[in-house]
Amino acid sequence: MEVARRVLCDVVAEHGPTLATDARRLRYILNDLCPDDRKAVFALSAAVEARVTAELAASTRATALRVERAGRRLADELGLAEDVARWAVESWAIALGYAGGDGGGHGGGNGTGQGDHRAALVVCAQGRGDLASLAQALREAPPWSRIEVLPGVYAEPLVVDRPVEIVAVGKPGEVVAAGGVRLAAEYALVRGMGLDAGAAPDGGPQTLFGVDVPRGELFLEDCDVSGAELACVAVRGRAASATLRRCRVRHGRQAGVYVSLGGASALWECEISENGGAGVEIGWQGSPALHRCRITGNGTYGIRIYAGGESQVEECELTGNRLGAWSVEDPVAE
């Protein structure tokens, strides 16, 4: 599929961005140049027919978040596999110059164009940025903007009430937010952050959920989520969804990831370990999908399902959990 991505970039450069509005012409060109990659040609053409390219062109702000949102919409509307839909949208973002990337199709590069980088709101705990408080940055950032967080510990509860990207700038473990994160917006993306709810700010009460998603859609990439009284990550509600990629989820007092009350989530290549209860707990009509995850060393089960919950599990490792890999309990009452 990466050949098709390179070809797309070349033909858009040659024929101009109007190609992003002509699915029939695009399909003809790609079929001629990529005859052996029908899946990629279909996905790229489908993105045009679904007006994903128009959505990307609507704004150059928060491009990575727009890619995530458009990819999910493409998957839902056309029934494409989520990773294929995301690849198609990311390919168009790169070809049209709205995003940077390394051609890997898995979020490589910083995910934004240079215009986004210059417009970012910079947070530095040592006072060398626009603001010293991440919570204040969330209150002041315009919708669809990007917040870059420099190394430091930000010990403050965070409420994300508008669509933004929060991106750590530094090596893994250098940027830590303590105190919990709650999503109160339609979309948000968090990348590269340490999210430690184990130590409550100012000696306050223990945070119940390290990352709390009662509504909206949250994308977590390359984050280390740890601590919390009930669960490190909670997705709880029919209007709630979370996608985790390459995240570590550990040291929750009870569950690592909790999905209930009709919530949905997708976990890709995550490690969920050393939680006091189940690694993944699926309650009332929760429906997470787990792909190539490692769920190990948890205090009860790797995955616990009850009260009408369900899960799709693909190529996951479920070893070393104290009571076993699975528990499927009473489907009627939680």
CB 214 within 8 A of CB 190: no
pTM: 0.80
Edge-to-edge strand list for the sheet holding 264-268: 121-123, 145-149, 164-168, 187-191, 216-221, 240-245, 264-268, 287-291, 312-314
Nearest C-alpha neighbor of 258 from the set 224, 278, 234, 288: 234
| Chain position carrying tokens 């303590």 | 178
Rounded Cα distance, 109 and 102, in Å: 6
Helix (H) or strand (E) holding 280: strand 280-282
Distance of CA 91 to the CA centre of its chain: 18
pLDDT in tens, the chain (334 residues): 888 999 999 999 988 888 888 888 998 899 999 888 889 999 999 999 988 888 777 665 657 888 888 888 888 888 888 889 989 998 998 888 876 443 333 333 333 333 344 468 999 999 889 999 999 999 999 998 999 999 999 999 999 999 999 999 988 889 999 989 999 999 999 999 999 987 555 555 567 899 999 999 999 999 999 999 999 999 999 999 999 999 999 999 999 999 999 999 999 999 999 999 999 999 999 999 999 999 999 999 999 999 999 999 999 999 999 999 999 987 654 4
Rounded Cα distance, 244 and 254, in Å: 19
Q: Name the residue type at position 132.
A: A
